[in-house]
Structure 1
Amino acid sequence: MRVSVSWLREYVDLPADLPTGDLEQALVDLGIEVESVVDLRESVSGPLVVGEVLEIEELTGFKKPIRFCRVDVGAANGTGEPQEIVCGARNFAVGDKVVVILPGGVLPGGFAIGARKTYGRNSHGMICSAQELGLGDDHSGIVVLPEDVKAQPGDDARPVVGLDDVVVEMEITPDRGYALSVRGIARELSHALGVPFRDPADAPAPGATAEPAYPVEVRDPVGCDRFAARMVRGVDPTVATPGWMRQRLTAAGVRSISLAVDITNYLMLELGQPMHAFDADRIAGPLVVRRAEAGEKLTTLDGVSRTLSAEDLVICDDTGPISLAAVMGGETSEVLASTTNVLFEAAHWDPATVGRTARRHKLFSEAAKRWERGVDPALPLVALDKAVRLLTGLAGGTAGAEVLDIDHVAPRTPVTLPVDLPSRRVGVAYPPDRVVELLEQVGCTVTRGADRLAEDPGTVGTAAGGGAVLTVTPPSWRPDLTDPADLVEEVVRLDGYDRVPSVLPTAPPGRGLTWQQQRRRTVARSLAERGYVEVLAQPFVAPELVDQLGLPADDPRRPAVRLANPLSEEEPLLRTTLLGPLLGIVKRNVGRGQRDVAIYEIGTVFHPRPGAGAPPAMGVDRRPTDEEFAAADAVVPAQPRHVAVALTGEIEPAGWWGAGRTAGWADAIEAGRAVLDAAGIPADRVTVRAGERAPWHPGRCAELVVDDVVVGHAGELHPAVLAALELPRRTSAMELDLDALPAAPLAAGPTISTFPPALIDVALVVDDPVPAAEVRAALVEGAGPLLEDVRLFDVYTSQQLGEGRKSLAYKLTFRAPDRTLAGEEAVAARDAAVAVAAERFGATLRGA
């Protein structure tokens, strides 16, 4: 929100000598974040004057049109002779008054102006555009002053274009929609500085008449609980927007369009009431306010044809939708340069509906920004009356006596507030009279109730013995005040946050991290030590992700929780697997030239509870009961914590030392083993076996099993998935359910033998589909207690072994705890191990 201080002064008596720093601090003290305070008087230094164009010579032979101009700048240049200036703009003619900065001047951004030769001519200064002066973003042409400007050539141009003002830019939080207006900011400053405030909306306005200004039917009184309209006929379409209005719009960052449209934008900024101006002659039949039919089309004022959703609110005539209600009007009914009959509309729309519509269509207009934050429902008639008076006063025409006002606005619900609640909550003594005074400053109607005779169970922390109760009815412009806590915040805010003491709470006793927290940190550290980079992905996914991942129709990961108000309509679902967002990060990094990627994430996934209904309504005035907690918990989706990795490219880089190694399915499986090891799961309780699960490649997918329970999968992703997600070939991933892992057993100290080991290598030939992990398990089972360690160190295939056969070479380590093993004992243990592998898998010794 940008607003000029001169505009604010119309409604609040700011001290004439108020420093900009004090103005900024007053707003900050009220909880309004100030982005900048710009004194426009200091933004342009040096001679900035009014000039009158005397001659224009068109220069040819260049890539773009260039003009050589002679401009009368009076005596500002010291000679009184016309100033020679080269300019590329085309929107001015001989006789126009323009803004000229002479050599020696400096424009915003430190852009110094001098005399130079360009395009074969000498140019002494510059004719300025609004963007160059820091007045807006319009750089399509230079500033042409209106004909009614009284300034003469050579006069200081600063007051003419509004560079004698101060502009405040603020970031308004979503709960303070009223502050997106001059009215709201002026009221806030009156509180902060203790100066009088004049409400621009406190003006009489004609009410509804028996004959409406235009026939309108509202079919959805929930989405639109108030709709008002008035007509102006016979407007002079050639009248331009007056300079004072254009200056204020420009300072607020709003582009001037036409008089009728500028009036609606001006009143939106002043009052906070968005409006719309229709060309009445381009409306076919009565207006209908309704929800759109799915698939209906509307071309909005920005020229984009939009496909509407059944949730969108629209204004229609006999031809169909002509306006995306509260967001943007349509092309078919917009005010044109020839418009003579204008229908002004001012309504009140449901904030949630408008917010979802704006996000769905990615159309964050100034009107939608205000509607989704809440607009005063008492403003429509006042705004219409002001709009009609402005238009008829500036462009003539006749205001219709008929007024349409369809009003279904529900009265505000009073809030019961124990008068001592602000003191008890904040720790500052607020006398009852002070509480009442501050709430009335906000605009609330306060009624003192009887003292409480006993503890009120419906009020948090109510002291036994009673105390006065206030019945507070919030004003119409504060839809955010719905609970006692909101009123407490207002008391604290207006009395001053600086009065609230900073007291550190006493730290409660504890036992440090839980074993689950320690496990997560250990797992994260283990993956980081192996070269994986941690990422934090957004938990929101698109509906088509499950198809891209190739999940079967009956996969439990297909059902997902849909957000009621998603940040993006393209990603309205909560993830059921970490892989979707994680692989999206891989794609983004690969697309930006990072070919070798190894990342991991530890986070929650969300599984909807079957048959879950709506959560119970719970206020903030008391602690929910155990039954309410249980009912709410029954609706909340299950949120197990998973860990996942994704890797592609080289896992070991190439260099002068030799060739590198490309990441593959084995690295993903090893990452799963590393997680289980870091989680404290003993190796003898872990089984890695072949498995099948989307989105992995059926022949290159492993199940990670702990105590006969599948806790995760790892391997190479399916080629179809890689193609759908535009990922490199051989991209691999692992995902494991951390919450499914049992608690780590108490670790026993290892038994260390001082006797030498016996090392024996054995190479077994088995069928190609036989998993190496299951052959290892057979060797361990057959070797007996003398086997200390077994490790696979080679996998070999060749034509000599036969089609569909492979050789697995293992290094066996035998050791006895109490003696040096004889060679015969080690060989016997090896033979026993090979015998079990031969019996179970038909394994034969290679070369035998």
Structure 2
Amino acid sequence: MRVPLSWLREYVDLPAGQTGRDVQARLIDAGLEVETVEQHGAGLKGPLVVGEVLAIEELTGFRKPIRYCQVDVGGANGTGEPQNIVCGARNFQVGDSVVVVLPGAVLPGDFAIAARKTYGKVSEGMICSAAELGMSEDHAGIIVLPPGHRPGTDAIALLELADEVLDIAVTPDRGYCLSLRGVARETATAYGVPLRDPALLDVAPPNAHGHPVEVADQAGCDRFTARTVTGLDPLAQSPVWLTRRLQKAGMRPVSLAVDITNYVMLELGQPLHAYDRARLDGPIGVRRAAPGEKLTTLDGVRRTLDPEDLVITDRRGPIGLAGVMGGAETEITGAAAGGEPGEPGEAGAPGEETGGTTEVVVEAAHFDPVTVARTARRHRLSSEASRRFERGVDPEAAAAAAQRAVDLLVLLAGGSAGAGVTEVAVAAAPRTLTIPADHPDRVAGVGYGRATVVRRLQDVGCEVTGQDELTVTPPSWRPDLTDPNDLAEEVIRLEGYGNLPSTLPRPPAGRGLTGRQRLHRRVGRALAGAGCTEVLSYPFLGEAALDQLGLDADDPRRSLVRLVNPLADTEPALRTTLLPGLLAALRRNHGRGEHDLALFETGLVFRPAGAGRPGARLPVDRRPTDEELAALTGALPEQPRHAAAVFCGLRRPGGWWGEGQPVSWADAVEAGRRTAREAGIEPVVRQARYAPWHPGRCAALYTAVDGEERLLGHAGELHPRVVKALGLPERTCALELDLDLLERAGGGLPQAPGISAFPVATQDVALVVDASVPAAEVTAALRSGAGDLLESLRLFDVFTGEQLGAGRRSLAYALRFRAPDRTLTAEEITAARDGAVAAAAERTGAVLRGG
């Protein structure tokens, strides 16, 4: 909302010396978002005067038409003689009043004016366009003033060129500020001065002689006022003061009738519409559109109406979209032509039979905000009228707005107000709220007191009664005041947000992080400490991503939870695995020159088990019942949290110390082990076949949960086909684990190893096993057979050779033994070592090498 300060002063007596910046500061303190204060006429210096064109000489021989004009500027030039001016515009003629800038003046943009020779003539000044004076962007022609202005009159004052304009971003809950009336009320309250309410008019009472109106849908239209003006001069033009106020408020002047409806809308906040009475057929009606009905709106578009659209009708059918835009069938013609309030009107040619509109029916109605908002969005037709109806228009202002428009039409267009006044209104009980007098005090933590609370609510326009318990009736222009906290906000903002004390919140003592949260943080820190970088990817995917991963048609990860309104049609579902997003991040970074990458992510995946629609929407006026919450929860998909990591390039860079070491499947498996250890468990690793991993380089990680072995996830090298399909580097590796399952399997926080001051005993063993026996099974057997004295176990060598035989390999382990309370004897060490070898021989068929 753009508010000229000169217009605002008509309703509020601002203290002397107050500038637009001062008003901006006061309104911001009151809670309005005043974005800028525009300085109009900055740098403008006269003489800038009204001139009358006395003669025009057409100059020829130039590339474009040029005119040499004699202009009477009165005594502004000091001589009283006509001023000779060269001008290229064609939209004026002898006898027109124009705006003339004389030598010595300075126009906006530091454009100094001087007499100079051009096109073979001396031009003693310039005839100005609106763009040259900073009034608008219109370069089409010069300004032609309405008749009646004396030559030599100061045009700076006449055109109100020196002014300040407040640009206010009106939030949805303050629709009343989309008018000078609303902003003036806030300004008067901020300065503590009286308001001259422009809606306080002597309004003619309704009677039975007005234009007939039939409202069939009273839920969509609870108030409709119609007034008639006859005997209009179709050639009447808008006066300068009216057009200038519209321009400074951001609207383009169109014609007198449209300019008046726009002016009243800006002044009072009530959108109006003017119909050509001669083009109306019967009563004006308000109803919902019938299926298949069509309407050509003022913008020339033929629209198919929806049964939910609220329309204005006559006997022929729809003639307008209620609260949005009028129809072309009843638009005003002639010099008074125009469109819907706030929309650029199209000045129709004078009617062949009537010569233009001479009788007008003015509509001032109140429409349901939700209905108007849905219609405007359905037809993608936002207008100044719909913006106001969507945010709530004062229903009590309709009669005053219609009266104001009638008065201006009579005054400026020479019309006569019809005696008939039509008003259709639905009786509605006043809205009342009950609020404890100290409620704002408790909300703000400030002791305002009852007197201050009552005074501030009355400043807003509320009627307040009661003592400790206040009964508050909000004004008709504040439909947003529906809750005691709304009233508390009004008191707090008017008393000043800057006066609120700065206090830190005092949250109640909690229990700290949950076990699940602690595990997730430990996993993140562990993977980051291992050299991985955490990334966050979008939780959406499509079938194409699953195809690239090579998942079978019956793979559970293909059962997707689809979104009703996805951000992208190519990714319409929630992810069932973290790998697509991680691999996309790896590919993107690799393409930008980062070739050694280790990325990880922890996040939710979504499984459709149990997903569906809740039976009913949860209430907002009370706490939902346990049954309602259970039904809502049961409709949600399962959302386990996973951890995943991807690797490519070198695990250890090369240099003077030697060649670099590339990432392998073993690094992914070790990252999985590291993740599991954060839950205090050591997973069992087995070879597996599972997409999208390489069938010969894929490991499955298992652990015991409630006495049953469960699959944690997979790790290894990706399948070459997947690498090619996704455009990934060769030998890309990945892992993905179920963190929720890991939490259930874990024993809480991992235990720190015990520290013993006694010496360690190291024993090396080399076991020969079949090549098909996994090293993990041998390791598990050694660990179980060694007993409690085993401190650590490490596989340090794998050997194959002819001397071992075909299909055989040697696994060499380093075993460390230590007791916490004594030095181990040789017999204890040997017994523990032999127990480990015996267990390996029994479970895996291992034979001690060289034994």
- Compute the TM-score of the two structures, normalised by the length of structure 1: 0.69
Look up the match of 2:430: 412
Structure 2 CA distance, aligned partners of 1:709 and 1:85? 93
Structure 2 CA distance, aligned partners of 1:429 and 1:511? 34
Task: Determine which of 255, 274, 277 is the counterpart of 2:274.
Answer: 277
Cα 1:776/1:499, change in 2 over 3 Å: same
Look up the match of 1:38: 38
Look up the match of 2:383: 365
Give yes or no for the alignment of 1:326 onto 2:344: no
Q: Deviations over 1:77-105 (max 9, x none)?
A: 89988576676x66555655146486773
Residue 4 of structure 2 contacts residue 249 of structure 2 at CA under 8 Å; is this kept in 1? Answer: yes
Structure 1 CA distance, aligned partners of 2:300 and 2:727? 39
Give yes or no for the alignment of 1:236 onto 2:233: yes
Residue 640 of structure 1 contacts residue 737 of structure 1 at CA under 8 Å; is this kept in 2? Answer: no
Residue 11 of structure 1 aligns with an amino acid whose one-letter code is Y
Q: Deviations over 1:669-689 (max 9, x none)?
A: 999959956975856178896
Cα 1:51/1:211, change in 2 over 3 Å: closer
Listed as ranges, the matches of 1:391-402 within 5 Å are 391-402=409-420
Look up the match of 1:799: none
What is the DSSP-based 3-state SS (H/G/I as helix, E as strand, rest coil) of the residue aligned with 1:42? coil
Give yes or no for the alignment of 1:267 onto 2:268: no
Task: Determine which of 198, 201, 207 is the counterpart of 1:200.
Answer: 198
Cα 1:532/1:746, change in 2 over 3 Å: closer
Task: Determine which of 428, 441, 447 is the counterpart of 2:459.
Answer: 441
What is the DSSP-based 3-state SS (H/G/I as helix, E as strand, rest coil) of the residue aligned with 1:815? strand
Look up the match of 2:334: none
Listed as ranges, the matches of 1:290-439 within 5 Å are 290-292=287-289, 298-304=295-301, 308-317=305-314, 321-334=318-331, 335=339, 337-338=347-348, 340=357, 341-408=359-426, 410-439=428-457
Q: CA deviation at 1:249?
A: 1.0
Q: CA deviation at 1:117?
A: 10
Residue 284 of structure 1 contacts residue 318 of structure 1 at CA under 8 Å; is this kept in 2? Answer: yes
Cα 1:144/1:469, change in 2 over 3 Å: same
Structure 1 CA distance, aligned partners of 2:415 and 2:582? 59
Q: Deviations over 1:381-427 (max 9, x none)?
A: 22112222222332234444333333225323211122233334334
Residue 176 of structure 2 contacts residue 394 of structure 2 at CA under 8 Å; is this kept in 1? Answer: yes
What is the DSSP-based 3-state SS (H/G/I as helix, E as strand, rest coil) of the residue aligned with 1:232? strand
Look up the match of 1:152: 151
Q: Deviations over 1:181-237 (max 9, x none)?
A: 111111122212121212211223234433552443333x32332233333345333
Task: Determine which of 606, 614, 617 is the counterpart of 1:614.
Answer: 617
Structure 2 CA distance, aligned partners of 1:131 and 1:602? 57
Residue 30 of structure 2 contacts residue 190 of structure 2 at CA under 8 Å; is this kept in 1? Answer: yes
Listed as ranges, the matches of 1:388-787 within 5 Å are 388-408=406-426, 410-448=428-466, 468-506=468-506, 508-510=508-510, 512-518=512-518, 557-558=560-561, 576-577=574-575, 610-618=613-621, 628=625, 631=628, 634-635=631-632, 638=636, 680=679, 684=683, 742=743, 745-749=748-752, 755=762
Structure 1 CA distance, aligned partners of 2:654 and 2:315? 76
Structure 1 CA distance, aligned partners of 2:632 and 2:494? 39
Task: Determine which of 180, 186, 189 is the counterpart of 1:188.
Answer: 186
Residue 323 of structure 2 contacts residue 385 of structure 2 at CA under 8 Å; is this kept in 1? Answer: yes
Residue 223 of structure 2 contacts residue 365 of structure 2 at CA under 8 Å; is this kept in 1? Answer: yes
Q: Deviations over 1:236-273 (max 9, x none)?
A: 33222222111111111112222222222211111111
Cα 1:778/1:584, change in 2 over 3 Å: closer
Look up the match of 1:28: 28
Structure 2 CA distance, aligned partners of 1:361 and 1:665? 58
Q: CA deviation at 1:176?
A: 1.4
Structure 1 CA distance, aligned partners of 2:510 and 2:648? 45
Structure 1 CA distance, aligned partners of 2:388 and 2:486? 20
What is the DSSP-based 3-state SS (H/G/I as helix, E as strand, rest coil) of the residue aligned with 1:352? helix
Q: CA deviation at 1:346?
A: 2.1
Residue 647 of structure 2 contacts residue 668 of structure 2 at CA under 8 Å; is this kept in 1? Answer: no
In terms of mean alpha carbon deviation, does 321-330 or 301-310 score higher? 301-310
Structure 2 CA distance, aligned partners of 1:729 and 1:303? 54
Residue 354 of structure 1 aligns with an amino acid whose one-letter code is V
Cα 1:310/1:29, change in 2 over 3 Å: same
Structure 1 CA distance, aligned partners of 2:271 and 2:666? 58
Residue 228 of structure 1 contacts residue 380 of structure 1 at CA under 8 Å; is this kept in 2? Answer: yes
Q: CA deviation at 1:169?
A: 1.5
Look up the match of 2:822: none
Residue 537 of structure 2 contacts residue 581 of structure 2 at CA under 8 Å; is this kept in 1? Answer: no
Q: Deviations over 1:514-556 (max 9, x none)?
A: 454455556667788977675687x9x9xx9899999999987
Look up the match of 2:219: 222
Q: CA deviation at 1:349?
A: 2.1
Cα 1:685/1:835, change in 2 over 3 Å: closer
What is the DSSP-based 3-state SS (H/G/I as helix, E as strand, rest coil) of the residue aligned with 1:202? coil
Look up the match of 2:177: 179
Cα 1:697/1:350, change in 2 over 3 Å: farther
Structure 2 CA distance, aligned partners of 1:437 and 1:236? 49
Structure 2 CA distance, aligned partners of 1:762 and 1:113? 103
What is the DSSP-based 3-state SS (H/G/I as helix, E as strand, rest coil) of the residue aligned with 2:362? strand
Residue 5 of structure 2 contacts residue 20 of structure 2 at CA under 8 Å; is this kept in 1? Answer: no
Residue 347 of structure 1 contacts residue 380 of structure 1 at CA under 8 Å; is this kept in 2? Answer: yes
Structure 1 CA distance, aligned partners of 2:766 and 2:494? 81
Structure 1 CA distance, aligned partners of 2:457 and 2:560? 51
Structure 2 CA distance, aligned partners of 1:755 and 1:195? 93
What is the DSSP-based 3-state SS (H/G/I as helix, E as strand, rest coil) of the residue aligned with 1:372? helix
Structure 2 CA distance, aligned partners of 1:758 and 1:286? 105
Cα 1:536/1:325, change in 2 over 3 Å: farther
Cα 1:284/1:438, change in 2 over 3 Å: same
What is the DSSP-based 3-state SS (H/G/I as helix, E as strand, rest coil) of the residue aligned with 1:355? helix
Mark the runs of 5 or more structure 2 residues left unpaired by the alignment.
Answer: 332-338, 340-345, 349-355, 548-552, 656-662, 787-791, 799-808, 818-828, 847-851
Total equivalences in the alignment: 759
Q: CA deviation at 1:578?
A: 9.1
Cα 1:208/1:576, change in 2 over 3 Å: farther
What is the DSSP-based 3-state SS (H/G/I as helix, E as strand, rest coil) of the residue aligned with 1:422? helix
Residue 241 of structure 1 contacts residue 259 of structure 1 at CA under 8 Å; is this kept in 2? Answer: yes
Q: CA deviation at 1:560?
A: 5.0
Look up the match of 1:245: 242
Cα 1:578/1:320, change in 2 over 3 Å: farther
Q: CA deviation at 1:376?
A: 0.9
Structure 1 CA distance, aligned partners of 2:288 and 2:674? 52
Look up the match of 1:807: none
Q: Deviations over 1:335-356 (max 9, x none)?
A: 5645514332222222233334
Residue 92 of structure 2 contacts residue 144 of structure 2 at CA under 8 Å; is this kept in 1? Answer: no
Look up the match of 2:814: 815
Cα 1:469/1:46, change in 2 over 3 Å: same
Residue 294 of structure 1 contacts residue 310 of structure 1 at CA under 8 Å; is this kept in 2? Answer: yes
Q: CA deviation at 1:481?
A: 1.5
Q: CA deviation at 1:365?
A: 2.4
Computing the radius of gyration over CA atoms, which structure comes out larger, 1 or 2?
A: 2
Structure 2 CA distance, aligned partners of 1:671 and 1:377? 71
Cα 1:163/1:506, change in 2 over 3 Å: same
What is the DSSP-based 3-state SS (H/G/I as helix, E as strand, rest coil) of the residue aligned with 1:195? coil
Structure 2 CA distance, aligned partners of 1:390 and 1:27? 30
Residue 12 of structure 1 contacts residue 190 of structure 1 at CA under 8 Å; is this kept in 2? Answer: yes
Residue 485 of structure 1 aligns with an amino acid whose one-letter code is N
Cα 1:127/1:670, change in 2 over 3 Å: farther
Cα 1:521/1:228, change in 2 over 3 Å: farther
Cα 1:670/1:702, change in 2 over 3 Å: closer
